[in-house]
Structure 1
Amino acid sequence: MSFDVEALLAELDLDAKVNLLAGQDVWSLPALPRIGLASLVLSDGPVGVRGTHWSPDDPSVTLPSPTALAASWDPRLAVKAGRLLAQEARRKGVHVLLAPTVNLHRSPLGGRHFECYSEDPLLTGSIGAGYVTGVQDGGVAVTVKHFVANDFETERFTVDVRLGERALRELYLAPFELIVRRAKPWGIMAAYNSVNGTTMTQHAELVNGVLRGEWGFDGFVVSDWLAARDTVASANGGLDVAMPGPRTVFGERLAEAVRGGEVDEAVVDAMARRVLLLAHRTGALGGGPAPTTSPVDGDAVAREVAHRSFVLLRNETGVLPLRNPQSIALIGALAADPKILGGGSATVFPDHIASPLDGLKAAVPAGTELAYAPGADPRTTLPAATDNFRLRATARAADGTRLAEFPLRSARIDWIGELPAGLDAGTLASVEIAGTFLPDASGTHTFGVTGPGDLRLVVAGQTVFDGVNLPEGGDIFTSVMQVHEQRREVELTAGEPVDVSLTYWIPSEMAEFARGTFAWVTFALGHRGPVLDPDAGLEEAVALAAKSEVAVVVVGTTAEVESEGFDRTSLALPGRQDELVTRVAAANRNTVVVVNAGSPVEMPWRDDVAAVLLTWFPGQAGGDALADVLFGREEPGGRLPTTWPAKLEDAPVTDVTPKEGVLEYGEGVYIGYGAWARAGRQPAYWFGEGQGYTTWEYEELDVDPDEEGGARVRVRVRNTGTRKGREVVQIYLAPTERGDRPHRWLAGFASVEAGPGEVVEADIAIASRSAEVWRDGWRHIAGEYVVAASHSYAEPRLSTRVVLQKIR
């Protein structure tokens, strides 16, 4: 079937065209049957496809975090991940995946650090281009986000980011440009923030001028949810679709602006044309291109991405891989209940999770004893009540009228985006979680209340909390994702059932914010039964480690530490996890620490343990992948995509807090490893670091400059170990006359594999852009450069000097 967009446009009057540009609800655009247009459905990513309902009733394959995917340093693996997600999207009837996130790791405190790829624009763009290619191979669109300079969470809805043109071009726009030119994405998402005084959903200079004009982007631009604020400025500024619906700045308001002469109808035609092209590309208009992918095993891909992403940072005694130890102590609460993904819009719900405990139990060799102890609980809030609770949720109107009732698996409500069928945001006033609890132990039971606003908790007929729950100095809008908990203790007797009720009154500010547009009802009742004294838990873990041949300690962050919606205030591990590692390491010299975190954490004990293995947020198959790596069935294939500080105060760029609504990127082009080198500071681990289970010798480096000002680099490496392995060959470029440029920067990379004793060659292109700077336009800086073939930023193996210049 041929696609004639002009013929389709000719069939539409103004009202029909503007309706295509506004969400009909939270996750979709309206259908137009008379031209064969189905409703276009959008869904959050990036590690899975949630679909249109925020519910575990519609599970999703869950891949490792974006930081993990970037740690693979393998765009081909990103293509495979993207193809799996396209398969998931089509299974769920989704046409557009709201991913990938390609903002940079400017500060280690960035709350959404786990959802972005790297501190380096080339690595970020290369992995992002692979991801986009894979998703679109499956006939599903992406929206590369968040365009642009949305590298933090504090005041993200309203903040104005101030930065120079050079930093904007060389760093923050660079991943978007690479992806647009290399992968040709079908969508871009405009961010909430402003850049140099102009809101991104209205930024004609960057959207119409740079994105469409300079780069030739031909896809659609969608607002982040609720980011579009002005009808005329958004339309003229390059925005195509305003989400969510049904109340947006487009639709009827846009038609009025056209009729009033504020927006030219030719602008609306261009917007509608791009939406129709999107529909054609994704098959929503009939006759679109068929997917080019074959069926993919989701769990297998999740497992492969996980072990390929794990970064072995230390293995001084060669304890890894484990060689049939007689006994293993597995320690840490996260070993049994891992953090597999980051919080916020990245949340999806897998139908199963392989924890480290599950993985090791299934893989432990015959004759090896495996024992487990929690040691220390990193969580700062209690888990939602489940065991021995029989609960239901009741929704009520302001006068107490019951609107609906729902059974609950656990004592948690997350109605985000849309309310359950039959409920309306305009009439819903309160929700109650209520039922009975049968204690299985006598003693002190702890109940926790979370949720932004007014709550009342009643246990066994006694009101134990009745008040407002907000962080100190917080308000409704900044606290919806930043969990704050109220705890109360109640003495209960085993075998004696009690009634439990938690009522949440929806704040008036949130009701007005949500009415008819975007629901946000999230609260929970946490519970913990009588527990060992925390000191006793630590002692139990240390005693287990002391009598075991190997101790594997799993530590990491939690939802209260890493999530969309707020920035971090510390890089310290929560709870008493540092103490746990220190004491276990003192009791067992073969202590392996597994770090389950999406972004950098401080590791004050790192030089006192035998091995440190970083597993990121490893997705649903993380425990199985961990067993693969610990027992040597697979190699830890990852390299750091960002530099890790030893201490937060060492990091040269940390500021994520706006002042009077403005955040200055005053460091210019010096972020990440460039900022560390400029400051002369030593991090815990440099960008690109990571070990495998074999060793490599770099034997030969050959650089052939080209006429465009770039070069072709060939590096011959030999596997000098006793195992097959993988090496990531990193090419850094350093000018001999530096001027105001970083000491050196990543100019290319490639991964190679070889068996013991084998030689393999990496063939890497250095683009001419690597030798360019932005000075009112791209300027190639001809001259002599040192080209270094490196194992990491701080570990060059071979180098040579070449002259790079443009001949034509």
Structure 2
Amino acid sequence: MSTTRLLHLALLSGLLPWSWASSPAETLHPRDDEAFSPPYYPAPAGGWLSDWADAYEKAYRVVSNMTLAEKVNLTTGTGMFMGPCAGQTGSALRFGIPNLCLHDSPLGIRNSDHNTAFPPGVTVGATFDKDLMYQRGVELGEEARGKGVNVLLGPVVGPTFRKPRGGRNWEGFGADPSLQAIGGSLTIKGMQSTGAIACLKHFIGNEQEMHRESSVITQGYSSNIDDRTLHEIYLWPFAEGVRAGTGSVMMAYNDVNRSTCSQNSLLINGILKDELGFQGFVVTDWLAQLGGVSSALAGLDMSMPGDGAIPLLGDSYWGSELSRSVLNGTVPMERLNDMVTRIVATWYQMGQDQDYPLPNFSSNTLDETGPLYPGALISPTGVVNQYVNVQGDHNITAHAIARDAITLLKNNNHTLPLSTSDSLHIFGTDAGPNSNGLNSCTDQGCDNGVLTMGWGSGTSRLPYLVTPQEAIANLSSNAQFYITDTFPSVTPNSSDIALVFINADSGENYITVESNPGDRTTADLYAWHNGDDLVTAAAAKYSRVVVIIHTVGPLILESWIDLPSVQAVLIAHLPGQEAGYSLTDVLFGTYSPSGHLPYTIPYQESDYPSSVGLLDQVFGQIQDPFTETLYIDYRHFLNANITPRYPFGHGLSYTTFTYSAPVLTTITPLDTAYPPARATKGSTPSYPTTLPNPSEVAWPSTLTRIWRYLYPYLDDPSSITSNSTTASYPYPSGYSTTPKPAPRAGGAQGGNPALWDIAFSVQVTITNTGNYSGRAVAQLYVELPSSDVLGVDTPAKQLRQFEKTGTLTPGESQTVELNVTRKDLSIWDVVVQDWKVPVDGDGVTFWVGEGLGDLRVECAVGGTCAVVDSVS
């Protein structure tokens, strides 16, 4: 890549999605050479919302008295491996603000000890259980706090399963924006109730792992997304996360509409901070910063881990260079002050000024002592691990999630549940332990033994693991194990039941597992380790076969799913540390399965739109046009009239449920197509704009320097002047210091608060009519009116709400209430730039049931509300 191209990348600003200039009826995607748009400047200041007023007032008092060095220190990471955490900022110790620790992962404390390895997001999503979503967030926050992690890097709501073979889909909650939104927002609320800061990620359009990053020799792919699709699919869960009060948002590696996310002024300044009213701070993904002044002006607030283009050289786009840019006037003091104020206000908002622990672990080693700055050539040593046990009784929640996510796809002849006296033959390495030992693979970067999670930075070490093999052996005295993926020579009796364990793995791009570079390139959508052949071989020998699948996402099951002897199939998703007994709870009938698919399982991969395949090329930037627009996963299958093997939301039970007495109630009338006008923005902190004294970033004479550590100091700051520099500086095209009018769709965290007015409520009574205790999941899908009402085509049905019952005994009933908001019924009007609903809900129909293939209730606004035969 040429120096000119690198400079161009460093200066690119936000790009307006193409359809901001389109008519509301247009749904076609632009050509890739049209995926470019005007910038959005300046960066809006935080602090104008009452929910954050106290925190911003405290931050203002502190930041007003900070030196330039202290301000820069808090915005810039100290460098790769320059502390115990994945990344840490500098400190402002005069004000009691320590180095802030930012650390993975969304399912547990990565590379630590005495932590819980919770099931990941996709498993949580499969529970459809809001209480578990929240409780897992609380316990993640408790463990982060206990370890001294200020910012826990999660939850993940992007990627969103646009690409079924995408490597990190499993970190999020599923293939639907509402499921992602509810899972993410409840996780944030739970985490931050403990004082830990959540970091919602990855913003936005990061839907495959290969070619995601830009560097000195590569350029990350560009996700080219039209405005309506961005708002209705990919932005939807981020808006809910901002509404939940997330303290930070992490930018993705890729470009969006040819502008790098970490310095895309439209995404950060325009959408996140202005339209969504985000009050916290924006942070890069690790080494995703590509420019200094450009990223600051585009709204970035914190760089991680702080290094420049090449890590471990001791240079940075910010640090001392940010100090220089402020002194020479290229980065306005207003921008720096807002960056720091956002960070400090978030620290106060979560109460981290009140005895929040310092880090007591090292992600670099499990030894008790070691180098304090492992990235330095020479480092002082000390105690780096105090082995603080933060697990508490969190195994209970982890177990409940792993159990209640288990999804029963098929159960012919009531094969399940099993009896502990049944003669069982168990096949597959996925039933057993890692043959090289627990946690023997860095960041779980292998597929050996039972698959508990994918691989990459979104993992944690397993504190222990009871495998399915161990759990079955402890409960059954009549089980034989063949922990191999090659079918052995066996002669079964007619009474024997085969349990076949198979899996499918994926992860983050920096690790390649069995030739899969994060994304499932070699494995495609098939089971790993010849798992399909193992099932087929067992089915040829046994009259009753139960298949148990641990998987990161959808699989093609067609080579064996209809074989007569394949009687039952369970997807156990990714169970985390509780793989064994969570499964036997369901296998042996202590609990009825209550999980539902958080994605669609097709008959063949070609059933997906061609635009969602993985992209790979050697030279030039990959352009990834989102030409399928709104129609991903089940939206596509409905739109294309393609019947899937198992639809989104599918999940069987050992018992049966009936739905009765549906009632539709209007709560807030939708008497206007657009929400009421937003409130005027409140005031924001105002600081003097005079440049600081250069001496504030002179090297302190008492400082003992650590080589490669990133500091805010300059050798000769007094020599820096601003007049000539700012006059000739190549600012990004369209850069302005004049604030833009407040977006009409904004007004509070997440957007106009009227968007969350409850418009309608659907109540339905669910009764257990079977012979087992069990839990039902009522899923509400919205069918919007035809295009002549809203002016655009809309997906046939869209999940907007769900509620899971308690455990109902045979004959027991529970009435659930499903509330639908104005936004749930809205489309994004690309011309008006606001959310539009059908007035009075005209033409809207609500469907409620156990999944898209099992809808039981139909309620038409202004019409009848009745139980219907199952509708798919």
TM tier, smaller: 0.7 to 0.9
**1:60: how far off?**
2.8
8 Å contact from structure 1 (residues 84, 298) kept in 2: yes
Query: Which residue, 289, 295, 300 being the options, matches 1:239?
Result: 300
Return the alpha-carbon distance in structure 2 between the equivalents of residues 697 and 606 of structure 1. Answer: 28
Residues 1:585 and 2:539 are matched in the alignment? yes
What amino acid is aligned across from residue 592 of structure 1 in structure 2?
V
1:648 matches 2:703: no
1:194 counterpart residue number:
255
The alpha-carbon deviation at position 154 of structure 1 amounts to 2.1
Cα distance in 1 between the residues matched to 2:530 and 2:59: 61
2:525 equivalent among 563, 571, 591: 571
Structure 2 residue corresponding to 1:714, chosen from 763, 769, 785: 763
- The residue number in structure 1 matching 2:855 is 796
- For 2:614, the aligned partner's letter is V
Residue 162 of structure 2 corresponds to residue 109 of structure 1? no
- Structure 1 segments unaligned to the other structure (5+ residues): 377-536
TM-score (normalizing by structure 1): 0.75
Q: 1:558 Cα deviation (Å)?
A: 4.0
Q: Is the partner of 2:75 in helix, strand or coil?
A: coil
SS of the equivalent of 1:607 reads coil
1:83 equivalenced with 2:138 (yes/no) = yes
Which one is further off, 776-785 or 709-718?
Answer: 776-785
Relative to structure 1, the CA distance from residue 708 to residue 156 in structure 2 (aligned partners, 3 Å threshold; closer, same or farther) is farther
- Rounded Cα–Cα distance in structure 2 between residues aligned with 1:772 and 1:36: 46
Q: 2:165·2:519 contact (CA, 8 Å) conserved in 1?
A: no
Aligned length: 630
Taking the TM superposition and a 5 Å limit, the aligned residue runs for 1:620-631 are 620-631=577-588
SS of structure 1 residue aligned to 2:645: coil
Partner of 1:788: helix, strand, or coil? strand
Q: 1:596 — aligned with what?
A: 550
Residue 111 of structure 1 contacts residue 562 of structure 1 at CA under 8 Å; is this kept in 2?
no
Match of 1:468 in 2: none
Contact 1:59/1:348, CA 8 A, preserved across alignment? no
Aligned-pair CA distance for 1:708: 4.4
Give the alignment of 1:347-426 within 5 angstroms: 347-364=459-476, 368-376=477-485
> Among 228, 247, 250, which residue is 2:318 paired with?
250
The 1:563–1:352 alpha-carbon spacing in structure 2 relative to 1, beyond 3 Å, is farther
User: Partners in 1 of 2:667 and 2:132 — Cα distance?
Assistant: 29
- In 2, distance between residues paired with 1:261 and 1:49? 41
Tell me how far 1:240 sits from its aligned partner.
0.7
Q: Work out whether residues 59 and 349 of structure 1, in 8 Å CA contact, stay in contact via their aligned partners in 2.
A: no
In structure 2, the residue corresponding to 1:676 is in which secondary structure? helix
Q: Point out the structure with the larger strand share.
A: 1
Show the 5 A alignment for 1:635-714. Answer: 635-652=592-609, 654-657=612-615, 660-709=621-670, 710-714=759-763
Partner SS state of residue 775, structure 2 = strand
Contact 2:90–2:98 (Cα < 8 Å) also in 1: yes
1:530-569 superposed matches below 5 A: 537-540=486-489, 542-543=490-491, 545-546=492-493, 549-558=496-505, 560=513, 565-569=518-522
CA positional deviation for 1:145? 0.3
> Is 1:606 the equivalent of 2:561?
yes
After TM superposition, the structure 1 = structure 2 runs for residues 162-561 of structure 1, keeping only pairs within 5 Å, are 162-181=224-243, 183-245=244-306, 247-286=315-354, 296-336=392-432, 337-364=449-476, 368-376=477-485, 537-540=486-489, 542-543=490-491, 545-546=492-493, 549-558=496-505, 560=513
**1:61 paired to 2:116:** yes
Deviation at 1:295, TM superposition (A): 8.3
Is the 8 Å Cα contact of residues 344 and 564 (structure 1) preserved in structure 2? no
Per-residue deviation, 1:166: 0.4
Identity of aligned residues (%): 31
**2:734 matched residue in structure 1:** none
Read off the aligned partner of 1:141 and give its amino acid letter.
Answer: I
Q: Does 1:15 align with 2:69?
A: yes
Cα drift, residue 747 of structure 1: 2.2
Query: Which residue does 1:514 correspond to in 2?
Result: none
In the alignment, which residue of structure 2 is the partner of 1:521?
A: none
* Secondary structure of the structure 1 residue equivalent to 2:764: strand
Deviations 1:401-458 (A, max 9, x none): xxxxxxxxxxxxxxxxxxxxxxxxxxxxxxxxxxxxxxxxxxxxxxxxxxxxxxxxxx
CA distance in 2 between partners of 1:224 and 1:561 (Å): 26
**In structure 2, what is the Cα distance between the partners aligned to 1:347 and 1:179?**
21
Aligned to 1:135: 191
Structure 1 residue 574: Cα displacement = 2.3
Aligned partner of residue 360 in structure 1, secondary structure: helix
Q: Deviations over 1:634-687 (max 9, x none)?
A: 222210111111221222353231664211001111111110111111111100
Pair 1:725 & 2:774 matched: yes
> Is 1:100 the counterpart of 2:155 in the alignment?
yes
The superposition leaves residues 264-311 of structure 1 with CA deviations (integer Å, 9 ceiling, x where unpaired) of 01100010011112332455434679xxxx985122221111001111
Question: Which residue is equivalent to 1:772?
Answer: 826
- Counterparts of 1:564 and 1:770 in 2: how far apart (Å)? 37
| Deviation larger for 2-11 or 757-766 | 2-11
Higher relative contact order (CA 8 A, sep 6+): 2
Distance in 2, matches of 1:265 and 1:14, equals 10
Which residue number in structure 2 is paired with residue 393 of structure 1? none
| 2:813 aligned partner | 759
- Letter of the 1:734 counterpart: E
Cα distance, 1:223 vs structure 2: 0.3
Distance in 2 (CA, whole Å) between partners of 1:561 and 1:346 is 19
- Amino acid across the alignment from 1:327: S
- Distance, in Å, in 2 between the alignment partners of 1:282 and 1:88 is 15
Quote the Cα distance in structure 2 between the aligned partners of 1:562 and 1:749: 39
Q: Counterpart amino acid of 1:780?
A: V
* TM-fit CA distance, 1:781: 2.5
Secondary structure of the 2:577 match is: coil
Contact 1:562–1:598, Cα closer than 8 Å, also in 2? no
User: How far apart are the structure 1 equivalents of 2:661 and 2:562?
Assistant: 33
TM-score, structure 2 as length reference: 0.70
Q: Is the 8 A contact 1:652 1:679 kept in 2?
A: no
Q: Match of 1:68, SS?
A: helix
CA contact (8 A) 1:343 1:563 kept: no
Distance, in Å, in 2 between the alignment partners of 1:11 and 1:44 is 32
Following TM superposition, by how much is the alpha carbon of 1:565 offset from its aligned partner in structure 2, in angstroms? 3.9
Contact 1:232 1:262 in 2 (8 A): yes
SS at match of 1:681: coil
* 1:794 alignment partner AA: G
Report the AA paired with residue 41 of structure 1: C
Measured against aligned partners, the alpha-carbon deviations of 1:348-391 in whole angstroms (never above 9, x if no partner) come to 11121111101112222xxx411100241xxxxxxxxxxxxxxx
Q: Deviations over 1:53-81 (max 9, x none)?
A: x46xx353111121100001122211111
State the distance in 1 between where 2:493 and 2:526 align: 26
Q: Distance in 2 between matches of 1:746 and 1:558?
A: 27
C-alpha spacing 1:243/1:571, structure 2 compared with 1 (3 Å): same
| Alpha-carbon distance between aligned partners in 2 of 1:326 and 1:565, rounded to the nearest angstrom | 40
Instruction: Specify whether residues 749 and 371 from structure 1 end up closer, same or farther in structure 2 by C-alpha distance, changes over 3 A only.
Output: same
CA contact (8 A) 1:700 1:798 kept: no
Q: Matches of 2:475 and 2:190 in 1, distance apart?
A: 32
* C-alpha separation in 1, matches of 2:419 and 2:543: 16
Letter of the aligned partner of 1:623 in structure 2?
G
